[in-house]
Each structure stands twice: as C-alpha cells, then as structure tokens.
Chain A
Amino acid sequence: MAGVLVWVETSEGKIKKITREAAGAGAKIAAKLGVPLGAALFNGRDLVPGLENLGFSKIYTAEGAIFEKYSSEAYAQAFAAAGEQFNADVFLTGATALGRDLSACLAARLDAALAIDVTEILYDARPLKVIRPVYSGKLLAEVELLGDKKVISLRPNVFPAAETPSAPPEVVPLSLENLAIRAEVRKAIKAAEGVMDVTEANIVISGGRGTGGPEGFKVIGELARTLGAAVGASRVAVDEGWIEYAHQVGQTGKVVSPVLYIACGISGSTQHFAGMGSSKFIIAVNTDPDAPIMEKADFAIVGDLFKVVPVLKEELGKRIRG
C-alpha cells in the first residue's frame, strides 16, 4: 500500500495557509490513487485539532528541542521516517522558502523525483504529471514523475484549500534516533511589525519607477492597509533604495500568485512578469497608456498613481465597510 504525505508548515505557532492548499491537492491525489493521506507535523502537537477535516488519516509528529526551530537535517530525516512508516510515495510541501528546502533535502535523501514550485497537477496521468513554470515564467513544463518516490512543492495561493470531511486523524509520535544537526538556526529575524510578506498575501500592491521615491510607497502602503494587502515593488524601486529588497517581485525577487495584483507605475518588464504573471487578476495604474503592462492587465487605468490610488483607497474603503 502507498500513501500521500503532506508537510504541515507552521509559523509562530500557527498552521500556514499553504498547508490546507497542499492537503486539498494531496486529498485529490490520494483519492485518485485510492491510498490514504497523512501529515507530518513537527514541533506543533497542540496544532493537531486544527488539522481535522483535511482528509488526514494519520499525523506523524516529532517534538523536542531539535525541532523547535527549522532544521533541514532534522526535518528531512523526520519527514523521511514518517514517509517510511506511512509507506508514502508522494510527498507534498509548499513551495515556500522552507518547503522548498525540505522538499529538496527529502528528494536527495530518498533519491526521488523532485518537482519544485508546481502550479498544476495532472491527477489522472500515470505516472503522475505536474505543470511548473520555467524560463522566467515564459513557458510551462509538463513534467512526468517517474521515480517510485515523488516529492512535489506547490506554489502558494494556486491550489484550492479544500475541506475533506474525515474522522479525526490518529496521532503517531515518531521516535527518532541519532539526530545530529550541523546547520542550526540561531536567530529568527522578523520583518517590521505589520509588514505582510508578498508571497503570502491574497492581494499585492506594487510600486515601480512611477512611484518616484519613498513618498510613492506611502500612497501605495495606505491602499494596502485598507485592503489588507502586502506591498510589492519592481526591481527599479528596490535598486533606487525606495523600499527594501524583501518587497521585490520578479526575476531577482519573489514569485507571487495573489488573487489580485495591483501594479502602480510599473511598466511590466519580462523580469517583473516572471514574478507575478500567474496572479489571478492584474490591475495596472500607469500614466503611459502604451506601457506593456497595460496590454496584459485585466483592468488598466491610464492615470497618475498619486491621484488615482488615494481616491481608489476611499472608494474601496467605502465598499469594504459596507
């Protein structure tokens, strides 16, 4: 018997949204293959109740000082051990910073097929196939996973977080021996309070050259607060020092897939599209009606962001309040 195993990614004592998305995709694979779905949860025993009705039959847990902070070595070893006990042949993580790390380590350990940052799963294909963006997001590759073991990381915000009514899962603590780690997290440095990461937000509002400086990002930041959105930026804005690198979306920055991406004063280079081309909806605000982004946006506003964005903030604020 085989199985599908999902890594439960947590952050500051909470289950990350990508976990529910991976559970949704995992449940579908498991159903198609007629195999059980399980989860691996490290340093989060108290989070088990939050993992009901996601289709998990078993949850493998690992606790102890070594699991308190993320460790590639300990987590991969535990994930592999859980997989062995569960007899898993498909492993899912989010294509988050740590999910990518864990999936790579696990694939190396299991000598498995590895597919990174997958945006679509061809559930009926045998062997299983996945779709993932390549060449700066300009092409999509259909990848056939031939290995007995398959490790897949899923792009956040792409797979629906489906509920799967199921009996409460059985919790199976793992007993792990000879855990030694050589690369250890010493310190977790948090971004400034209230700053949402662009990769995790449903709505991202980005500024580019047209913001003209830090003042432009104030205007964008206000709209972001109204919408509960994260603030992104083009490479130009970051290189000019108007906003920190953590906000950069694109080839040399972060890849985002929000429901809504609002590009303000961004012309829309290939490199920028590599980072946000898979957003569900794109709104562009630009003074240049012929900027490339205006041809790709679902809703393009020809206008000055300094004039349009504040009014848009008022207008949307009214609608949200009711």
Chain B
Amino acid sequence: MNIAVIIRQVPDTEAAVKPHPANQGAIVEDGVKFILNPYDEYAVEEALRITEKDGGEVVGVCIGPQRSETAIRMAMAMGMARAILISDAPAVEADLVTQGGILAAAIKGLSARLILCGREMIDTQNDAAAAVVAHRLGIPHVLAASKIEISGDKATVVRDIEGGSLEIETALPAAISCQKGLNEPRYPTLIAIKRAKNKEIKKMTLAELGLAAAQPKSRVTALRPLQARSAGVKVAGSPEEVAGKCAAWLSETAKVI
C-alpha cells in the first residue's frame, strides 16, 4: 500500500534558539542547524518497514520553507521514494489547523492507505497533525502509536496514555502519529544518501492544491526565552547532614512536606 508521511524540518534540539528581534514569532536562524523532526523518523521508518514487507510507495509531504529540502533528503536517504514540498508563505505561516487542511489536500491525490507522522513537532510542540488531517480527509486517526500492526483493511495500534496504554483497532485508511518505541529508525547508508539527491521533490503552491490563503485562526504574537532557573541552595556533607537540611528546606521554605 502507498503511505504518505508528513514530515517537517525543525531546529536541532541542541541548538540555542533565540527569538528574532524583528520577525514576530520567528527565531534567529543564523547558526542554527536544522534537522528532520526526530519523531518523524519513527514515521518514515514504520512506513518503510510496512512497504518493504507488503509493497507500495512512501511519499513525503512537507510544509516549510525551501530549506526544508535537506530534511526531505534525509527522509529520502532513509528510503522515502519522493516528496511534495509546499513552501509558499501563506502555507508556511498558517496556523496548525489550517496547515492540517493543506496537508490533507496534498495527500488526497496520493491514494495513500496510511498516513503517518511524528507524534509531535519539536519546534512548535504541536501534536495535532494526524487528527486534523484525518478529519479533513474523513478518515479515522490514532495519536502517539507505539505499535502498529496492519492486517487487511484494519490496523491494530497501541497508544500510550497516562498509567497504561490502549489497544485500538482502526479501519484503513487512517492517519497515525508515531511515538518513540514504535521502531528503531535506521541510519541512512552512504549509497542511499547518494541516491537521495536524484529523487523527486515536487514543489506545490496553495493555488496548485486548489486552496486559497485563509484568515489565520491563531498567531504567535511574541516569543520569549523561558526565565532561566537560577541556582538555589547547594549543600554538601554527610548524608545525615544534607538529608536533614533538605528535609528542613522542603517543609519550611518550599512548604511541600
């Protein structure tokens, strides 16, 4: 079966991100390394495993600026066959619900029986893509899958919740977001890296998808660094001594106990 994988380029977790002084809601990109969203690797890997077993093609769909191409090439080096990149500003700047609609429009033409994405985008920390895309396509979804088993027209998915997990049976086609634990994403081989550069990235605009720029439903009006936690009390000494001080601090200063 054909599988569409929603991917996104994000700053490396190690990167020091700073709010952009002029562009509202943006970060300073100079010196920031961009990578394929780590959770998306689980989605790409799962798509590859399923198609390697049962046949079919893995196609990426990405909303993001031109630089997103490097993240797409990474997914291609893992084995993704081709990709669609939507880079026009109204799409890139759209709110997450609107972006879900755009992704759905791009996926519609792919005859995909399964749509996979990462559990969360680590830049915006949004985790709604699978749910929104599924609703727009009129298909079911499951979020945060740690296990996916396909059999015929159905998939059995395990998703984690607080204090346990749920086993969900869903009809296909479906959209599923992928969580750590689902698989161990492969490292691209050097040969695959070399081949990735010849794979097709089709650039599409909103107009080509038959969409018009929509009024934003939400927008980031400010971005600010988290107030850095400053060092508090530091103690050293015998276990009895430090434990006593800590217990006193907990009950008298923090008033937790």
A contacts, CB < 8 Å to B: 11, 69-70, 72-73, 96-98, 100-101, 103-105, 107-109, 111-117, 129, 132-147, 181-191, 195-197, 199-200, 203, 227, 245-246, 251-253, 259-260, 270-271, 274, 277, 281-283, 289, 294-303, 307-308, 310-312, 314-316, 319-320
Contacts and interface: CB of A to CB of B under 8 A. Distances in A.
Interface residues on B, range: 35 or more
A195 B143 contact: no
B243 to A, nearest CB: 4
A184 B125 contact: no
5 smallest beta-carbon distances between A and B, as pairs: A104-B128, A104-B131, A108-B135, A147-B217, A183-B170
Contact of B246 (A96, A112, A129, A283): A283
A295 B132 contact: no
Interface stretch (B63-71, B186-194, B231-239): B231-239
9 contacts: A105-B131, A113-B217, A137-B125, A182-B139, A184-B170, A188-B166, A283-B250, A301-B242, A308-B239
B140 A260 contact: no
B221 A129 contact: yes
Given A108-B100, A301-B242, A183 B141 contact: yes
B132 A108 contact: yes
Contacts of B256: 203, 259-260, 281
Contacts of B151: none
B218 A114 contact: yes
Interface stretch (B1-9, B10-18, B72-80, B83-91): B10-18
Contacts of B235: 299-302
B166 A189 contact: yes
* Main secondary structure on B side of the interface with A: mixed
Contact of A146 (B140, B161, B174, B216): B216
Given A147-B218, A183-B141, A183-B169, A139 B233 contact: no
A231 to B, nearest CB: 13
B122 A200 contact: no
A1 B181 CA distance: 47
A136 B254 contact: no
Interface of B: 11, 13-14, 16-17, 19, 25, 27, 38-39, 95-97, 100, 122-128, 131-132, 134-136, 139-144, 146, 156, 158-171, 174, 180-181, 215-226, 228-237, 239-240, 242-244, 246-247, 249-251, 254, 256-257
A138 B167 contact: no
Contact of B95 (A101, A113, A181, A289): A113
A315 B222 contact: no
A111 to B, nearest CB: 7
Given A138-B17, A143-B220, 8 more contacts: A109-B135, A134-B223, A135-B17, A144-B220, A185-B166, A259-B256, A302-B234, A311-B239
A227 B257 contact: yes
Contacts of A259: 256
Contacts of B171: 182-183
A98 B161 contact: yes
